[in-house]
Structure 1
Amino acid sequence: MSSTSGTATSRERPKPSVLVHFAAGGLGGTVGAAITCPLEVVKTRLQSSMYRAAEASVTFRNPVHGAWVHMKGVVNLLGTIRRQEGIRALWKGLGPNLVGVVPARAIYFATYSQGKHAYTKLNNGQETPIVHMFSAATAGIATATCTNPIWLIKTRMQLQSENPDLKTHQRYKNSFQCLTRVLREEGIRGLYKGLSASFLGLAESTLQFVTYEYLKKTWVERRKAARLEMLTDEEKRNASLANSPADWLDTFAAAAVAKFGAAIITYPHEVLRTRLRQTPENGVTKYRGLVQSAKLIYAEEGIAALYGGMTAHLMRVVPNAAILFFWYEMVVSALTPPAQE
């Protein structure tokens, strides 16, 4: 192991290409968002106070049974939306979602790669979990600030229902009209509702990336090191370090495990963010800040409401993260030249 480590540290790591990581993040985000959009619609509605009646309360005494009940509820709600609003309603908000996902993932991964390179240099060339943590936090702040208006519009569009009997009946005809009405009725600050909750959510992305980098290094890089240990010196010089199918499977699994753990630990910020972005009811803004919203939700609906839609969220974000990182790593691997000896 020591010889492998020495070889790794002797290689000069070139500065990552912003364009490559920008493109890889955008492509991965597009594929993941398009595939998992129906679960995004369900998750957003279950997080909202307008749809709380659609979800049974979380069963803390028997979490396995509770998760099973909620999974059935998610499937039932998918069917209800399809029957009452049509199949297209399951992809409601996909336009602004893609408009948001592509730049968001592109900005995030480009910033993360540059940050990791810079922080590693500041840390005397050592790529440690602290480097990953600062890189993820920097990328998260940049991404949340740039893309919050897009996510607000997406949330407003997904919370609408085409059923005239519901108080969430369609108010915005399209994303552009939503943007203009928010600006006219709520001002420029209205486009940044939920930004504080997004900053709170940096804990999730930071924890996810630190875990992912650790698992990737543990699973993928150690597998490569084990393969090299079986080769002669001549074979090592000519060996290709390209990922094998098993390496790609490890990457897929590492991304899923990292997202699953991070999402569960930090989930309440998702509910707070959705509530802060809801359309004001009768011109009244009910949720005005993180602390005020958390206290109000707890007082009116109980602690379980802070976990509303978590099953739908996990059913979406875990495969989405796995797809995203899989495509991201594939594009980066294909377009990045190998490190020089």
Structure 2
Amino acid sequence: MSAAFQSEGQWQWESATAGAVAGFATVAAMHPLDVVRTRFQVNDGRVFNLPTYKNTAHAVFTIARIEGLRGLYAGFFPAVLGSTVSWGLYFFLYSRAKQRYSKNREEKLSPGLHLASAAEAGALVGLCTNPIWLVKTRLQLQTPLHQTQPYSGLYDALRTILKEEGWSALYRGIVPGLFLQVSHGAIQFTAYEELRKFVVDFKSKKSEKTPESADKLLVDYAILGASSKLAAILLSYPFQVGIHFSGQRPGNDGIPRYMDTWHVVKETARFEGFRGFYKGITPNLLKNVPAASITFVVYENVLKLLKLARRND
């Protein structure tokens, strides 16, 4: 095995490890807002097993008062598992795609190739992790008002879904899920890479006169992560609403509220209009914009530590 091949392989696994650590840190910090976002998205006024929340703060206090800390962290384990696997796999596949599209490691990719790399990684991650996200959504939607026997956790949810609904149920919402993974990731990572390239070029010229401190670099990563995430959320948010509607558990009669993705789109447009596709965007922004800052700050620093450890070996 050549030294160059070994180096490329190590770099990709370092990206995967840094991505996994970043994913875990993000979920641990921001999960309660994810619960609120999910409940807002599926509450169309026709669901009777979800309380009505006035706004994000009211939702957080209501869940804490009625369901306790457990309610705010409903679906935490599948969220941690899904985020850790997703980010680790995403960064690994994204770095491989970038390496494949570039003729050599020193060549900078165009925005179009960054877009293609991110879209490719997003599609593969979506196919691998959809069952985890489906379980997370269902656990987050369980409340004391729930009419069906609640799932006790990840394993019980998977076992019950397979028993009652079959394998195909684990891939409910896969169409909007793939659209979300591809479009969201492509927008976010292309924006991040292009902004990062601009900042690095600008800072490299500036650092010839004044060396850049580590604290300033952390601020740069945080701003870049937040900016790229904001663009991705605003452009791809309706797909998230489609996923969470599609992933709801059937009622006691065993009949799903929505037959497929197109049914979700028609019913949402019919009863709620354009605003229905952006329900829950406030807690989503409150969660994901700072979460993206955490993700990329952790990712860049873990990657730097891994590279430093490799050089010292």
TM-score by length of 1: 0.81
Post-superposition shift, 1:280?
A: 1.1
Match of 1:312 among 262, 276, 283: 283
Answer whether contact 1:144 1:199 (CA < 8 A) is retained: yes
State yes or no: 1:95 paired with 2:77: yes
Q: Which residue of 1 aligns with 2:4?
A: none
Secondary structure at the counterpart of residue 37 of structure 1: helix
Post-superposition shift, 1:126?
A: 4.0
Paired amino acid for 1:54: T
Alignment of 1:168-187 (within 5 A): 171-187=150-166
Answer whether contact 1:160 1:169 (CA < 8 A) is retained: no
* Identical amino acids, percent of aligned pairs: 31
RMSD (Å), alpha carbons: 2.3
CA–CA distance in 2 between the matches of 1:174 and 1:185?
16
CA–CA distance in 2 between the matches of 1:169 and 1:84?
18
Answer whether contact 2:174 2:243 (CA < 8 A) is retained: yes
CA–CA distance in 2 between the matches of 1:100 and 1:310?
21
Post-superposition shift, 1:300?
A: 2.1
Q: Which runs of 5+ in 1 are unaligned?
A: 1-13, 57-72, 232-239
Answer whether contact 1:160 1:168 (CA < 8 A) is retained: no
Answer whether contact 2:50 2:141 (CA < 8 A) is retained: no
Match of 1:335 among 285, 306, 310: 306
Segments of 4+ in structure 1 off by > 6 A?
A: none
Alignment of 1:148-163 (within 5 A): 148-161=130-143, 163=144
CA–CA distance in 1 between the matches of 2:250 and 2:56?
26
Answer whether contact 1:108 1:139 (CA < 8 A) is retained: yes
Q: Which residue of 2 aligns with 1:262?
A: 232
Q: Which residue of 1 aligns with 2:25?
A: 31
CA–CA distance in 2 between the matches of 1:171 and 1:52?
14
TM-score by length of 2: 0.88
| CA gap 1:248/1:257 in 2 versus in 1, 3 angstroms | same
Q: What's the CA shift string for 1:237-281, capped at 9, x where partnerless?
A: xxx9x8632122111101101101210121111100000100012
Paired amino acid for 1:18: Q
Match of 1:21 among 15, 18, 38: 15
Post-superposition shift, 1:334?
A: 2.0
Secondary structure at the counterpart of residue 54 of structure 1: coil
Paired amino acid for 2:236: T
Match of 1:199 among 178, 191, 194: 178
Paired amino acid for 2:71: A
Q: Which residue of 2 aligns with 1:135?
A: 117
Paired amino acid for 2:153: N
Alignment of 1:67-82 (within 5 A): 73-82=55-64
Answer whether contact 1:220 1:251 (CA < 8 A) is retained: no
Q: Which runs of 5+ in 2 are unaligned?
A: 1-6
| CA gap 1:143/1:243 in 2 versus in 1, 3 angstroms | farther
| CA gap 1:111/1:33 in 2 versus in 1, 3 angstroms | same
Paired amino acid for 2:41: Q
Answer whether contact 2:99 2:105 (CA < 8 A) is retained: no
Post-superposition shift, 1:289?
A: 2.3
Post-superposition shift, 1:185?
A: 1.4
Q: Which residue of 2 aligns with 1:54?
A: 52
CA–CA distance in 1 between the matches of 2:17 and 2:193?
20
Q: Which residue of 2 aligns with 1:323?
A: 294
Secondary structure at the counterpart of residue 15 of structure 1: helix
Paired amino acid for 1:84: I
Post-superposition shift, 1:123?
A: 11
CA–CA distance in 1 between the matches of 2:287 and 2:269?
25
Paired amino acid for 2:246: L
CA–CA distance in 2 between the matches of 1:26 and 1:243?
26
Paired amino acid for 1:180: R
Q: Which residue of 2 aligns with 1:120?
A: 102
Answer whether contact 1:136 1:205 (CA < 8 A) is retained: yes
Q: Which residue of 2 aligns with 1:4?
A: none
Q: Which residue of 1 aligns with 2:3?
A: none
CA–CA distance in 2 between the matches of 1:117 and 1:243?
29
Post-superposition shift, 1:139?
A: 0.9
Larger Cα Rg: Structure 1 or Structure 2?
1
Match of 2:188 among 208, 219, 225: 208
CA–CA distance in 2 between the matches of 1:298 and 1:53?
22
Match of 2:246 among 276, 296, 316: 276
Secondary structure at the counterpart of residue 259 of structure 2: coil
Post-superposition shift, 1:169?
A: 6.2
Answer whether contact 1:220 1:250 (CA < 8 A) is retained: no
